[in-house]
Structure 1
Amino acid sequence: MARNEVRPIIKLRSTAGTGYTYVTRKNRRNDPDRMVLRKYDPIARRHVGFREER
């Protein structure tokens, strides 16, 4: 279906090196590049950048 092509499920991995991940969807038309979101890492106990991995 078209749902999986336009808004794929992506995994966001912490840049702090803790291995913590978030799972979300993104719109490929609006964000064709890899996403970086600033979110909370409970292992590091602070907000860090989470980068999209493929």
Structure 2
Amino acid sequence: MAKKKDIRAAIKLRSTVSGHVYLTQKNRRNDAQRLELMKYDPVARQHVLYREVK
């Protein structure tokens, strides 16, 4: 029997300012495009844009 593709996917969010990375999950049905979130970057010590990377 074939495996069903998991709805929840583990993703990496990388900072646009430094190389800091957050690991999180997203629902593929609700968020088909790449995720972009404002999160705190401890290296830069400020809130910056984080983008989903492969």
- Could you state the TM-score of these two structures normalised by the residue count of structure 1? 0.88
Greater fraction helix = 1
Deviations, residues 14-36 of structure 1 (Å, cap 9, x unaligned): 011x1000000000000000000
Q: Which runs of 5+ in 2 are unaligned?
A: none
Aligned length: 52
Partner of 2:12: 11
Amino acid at match of 2:52: E
Deviation at 1:5, TM superposition (A): 1.5
Identity %: 54
Amino acid at match of 1:12: L
Write the mapping of 1:21-40 to structure 2, written as runs, cut at 5 A.
Answer: 21-40=21-40
Q: Which runs of 5+ in 1 are unaligned?
A: none
Greater fraction strand = 2
- Could you state the TM-score of these two structures normalised by the residue count of structure 2? 0.88
Distance 2:10 2:19 in 1: 18
List structure 1 segments (4+ residues) > 6 angstroms apart after TM superposition.
none
